[in-house]
Every structure is written in structure tokens, then in C-alpha cells.
């Protein structure tokens, strides 16, 4: 039988005390970077895996982090969730998740009650529905971080958001500078913060620049919905499309090419939001807004660390980045 590797083996190989090795692995207490590197190298070399249950019993503290997912775990939020799990795994923490539909009050409470029943050290709520979050806030009983791009009526929880208004305005300004004056907006007709903020920012931009809004409602965020919605765009009625995400943009472009032989970058300007992996490989490349989902996960983790250390909850805003590609750069009305 293979000998089980224990903390003492790691300490001996690294040439440090067991207490020092423990501080490195728990992330508590000061350890020099040189010593930390030696311990981590020993952990990797020996294949050491800490006994999470024993550590929890000894410290009296949970090694669990709860994540409540409100609604679907869509593209960007899925990336953030996976990255967050990876960060917790490196700290030897377990992530326990639950999900609920935003419109089901009883389901939301049941999911929250389940997570709180396992006594996590912290709780993360990932949501695009403001009403659902407001419902849950009074019932939180541990340090919590809300991942939502909208303020919450509580200073007792942390919040992390991906900036929306400035980046949407920058994208629309880019289209305007290409000479576009008839900008259509494909907007999901759903009660989600991101869809609402992007639509409202579009309306404000049109008002400030004396443009006539042309909002095309779509049923969800999918390429299929974008394809269906593009049938409502009459040839000559628009010179640009701002879709609320890249899936909608790509679906609309496919429809317009099939039905009208219209190509983005040649016959109109096209822009989306999110910067999907596929967007760079679409015809000419899709202009979009890159949301930094891995940074969102890192910021959530940092908020948890701060709150567990006794620091007050904070609001962290992560800036997005406008990515200009051929779908708009190759088009001009000038």
C-alpha cells in the first residue's frame, strides 16, 4: 500500500517546520515568497492532498463556499463560475452550488436555506434579476457577495459588477463615428439587468444624438432569436445593428445574408456584446464589448477574503473593453 503523504512530509522536503507548511497551505499568517514557493513545490512533487474534514474539525471553520445561481448559467457567468471554482480549489475549499428560477420565490428561499444549512464560510449570489436578489437579501446570515450589474439596497453585502453603461456608449459612439444614423437594437424582452441597462443606454444615446430609436425585441439571448428577429429589419431601414450580445448579432447576420444578401462590414455595421470565442472568426470579425469574466471571479474571491478578515463589504466595478473588428471597421457612411 502506498504511504499516505502528510503535512510533515511536505515540511521535511521543503526544509521548513510543520507550522510554516500549515501557514502556507491555509493562507493564514505571514510567510516569505521564497518559503511559500518551496512549500508549494514540495506539495506538487509529493502530490500532497490536505485532509479537508480534519482541517475543518480542528479549526471549527467551514471549508465550504456556497454559490446560488439565479436563472440560467449563461456563457459569461459560466466562465466566471468555473474560474471561481478553480480559485477555491487552490485554497482547498469546496464550492457547493444551488440554483433557482428568479420568478419562483419559494424556490429561491429553499435554495438559499439549503446553502445556509451547510454553514458555508461565505455565500455568492450570481444573478441578473434585481427583484430576486432583493428578496434574498434580508435572509442572508453569513458574509455574502452579489455578482450583479446593478446596485443592491444593502451595505452589508459585497457586490461585484461588470461595467455596462460606459462600454455600451463607447460601442454606440464607434458606430456613430462610422456615419451610422439608423442603428437598430436587438434587445431581449426579459427581466434581466444586462438587457435592461443596454437597452436604456441605447435609448439615452439616441436621444442625445437626435437619432430615432429602432428597438427589435427578441425572446432571449440566443443566435436563433437573433436570426428570427432579423426578419423584421427591412432593407434600407437601418445602417447598423447593435445586438445585446454576440449570439444575437451572429444569428442576425446569418439571416440577413440568407434573405437579403447583406453582409456586415460591407452593407451595414454590426456589433455585439461579450466577445465570444467564435466572434473573432465570423466574417471579417465581429465588433463587440469584451467582458472580463475571469476578473469577475477573482474580484468575488477577493471580496470573500476581505470580509472573512473583518474588512467591510465593498463594491467593485470591472471595466469592459471595446473590441473593433471588420463588421464595423470596414463600413462607413462618410
pLDDT value of position 57: 43
**21, 33, 51, 123, 240 from 10: Cα distances, Å:** 7, 17, 14, 32, 61
d(CA 14, CA 130): 49
Q: What pLDDT, on a 0 to 100 scale, did the predictor assign at position 157?
A: 96
pLDDT in tens, 66-81: 999 999 888 888 999 9
User: pTM (2 decimals)?
Assistant: 0.81
Q: 279: Cβ–Cβ under 8 A, 6 or more apart, which residues?
A: 246, 249, 250, 272, 285, 286, 288, 325
The pLDDT score that the predictor gives to residue 61 is: 57
> Closest Cα to residue 56, out of 118, 116, 144?
118
In this prediction, the residues of the chain whose per-residue pLDDT falls under 50 are 1, 53, 56-58, 60
Which pLDDT score, from 0 to 100, does residue 47 have?
A: 79
Looking at residue 51, what is its pLDDT?
60
- For 169-209, the three-class secondary structure string (H helix, E strand, C coil) is HHHHHHHHHCCCCCEEEEEECCCCHHHHHHHHHHHHHHHHC
Q: Tell me the pLDDT tens digit for each residue of 297-313.
A: 999 999 999 999 999 99
What confidence score (pLDDT) does residue 62 get?
Answer: 65
Amino acid at each position: 500500500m502506498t504511504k499516505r503523504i502528510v503535512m510533515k512530509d511536505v515540511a521535511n522536503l521543503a526544509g521548513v517546520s510543520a507550522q510554516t507548511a500549515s501557514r502556507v497551505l491555509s493562507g493564514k499568517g505571514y510567510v516569505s515568497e521564497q518559503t511559500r514557493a518551496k512549500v508549494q513545490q514540495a506539495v506538487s512533487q509529493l502530490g500532497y492532498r490536505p485532509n479537508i474534514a480534519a482541517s475543518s474539525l480542528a479549526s471549527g471553520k467551514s471549508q465550504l463556499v456556497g454559490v446560488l445561481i439565479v436563472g440560467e448559467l449563461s456563457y459569461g457567468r459560466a466562465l466566471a463560475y468555473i474560474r471561481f471554482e478553480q480559485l477555491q480549489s487552490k485554497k482547498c475549499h469546496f464550492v457547493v452550488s444551488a440554483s433557482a428560477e428568479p420568478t419562483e420565490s419559494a424556490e429561491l428561499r429553499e435554495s438559499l436555506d439549503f446553502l445556509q444549512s451547510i454553514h458555508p464560510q461565505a455565500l455568492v449570489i450570481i444573478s441578473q434579476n434585481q427583484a430576486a436578489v432583493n428578496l434574498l437579501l434580508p435572509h442572508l446570515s453569513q458574509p455574502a457577495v452579489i455578482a450583479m450589474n446593478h446596485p443592491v439596497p444593502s451595505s452589508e453585502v459585497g457586490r461585484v459588477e461588470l461595467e455596462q453603461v460606459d462600454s455600451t456608449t463607447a460601442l454606440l459612439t464607434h458606430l456613430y463615428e462610422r456615419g451610422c444614423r439608423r442603428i437598430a437594437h436587438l434587445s431581449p424582452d426579459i427581466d434581466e439587468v444586462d438587457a435592461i441597462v443596454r437597452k436604456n443606454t441605447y435609448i439615452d444615446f439616441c436621444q442625445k444624438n437626435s437619432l430615432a430609436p429602432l428597438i427589435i425585441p427578441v425572446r432571449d439571448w440566443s443566435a436563433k432569436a437573433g436570426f428570427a428577429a432579423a426578419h423584421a429589419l427591412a432593407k434600407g431601414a437601418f445602417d447598423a445593428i447593435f445586438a445585446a450580445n454576440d449570439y444575437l448579432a451572429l444569428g442576425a447576420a446569418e439571416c440577413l445574408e440568407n434573405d437579403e444578401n447583406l453582409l456586415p462590414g460591407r452593407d451595414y455595421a454590426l456589433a455585439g456584446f461579450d466577445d465570444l470565442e467564435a466572434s473573432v472568426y465570423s466574417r471579417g470579425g465581429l465588433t463587440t464589448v469584451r467582458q472580463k469574466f475571469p476578473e469577475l471571479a477573482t474580484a468575488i474571491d477577493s471580496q470573500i477574503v476581505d470580509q472573512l478578515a473583518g474588512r467591510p463589504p465593498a463594491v467593485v466595478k470591472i471595466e469592459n473593453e471595446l473590441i473593433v473588428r471588420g463588421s464595423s471597421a470596414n463600413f462607413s457612411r462618410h
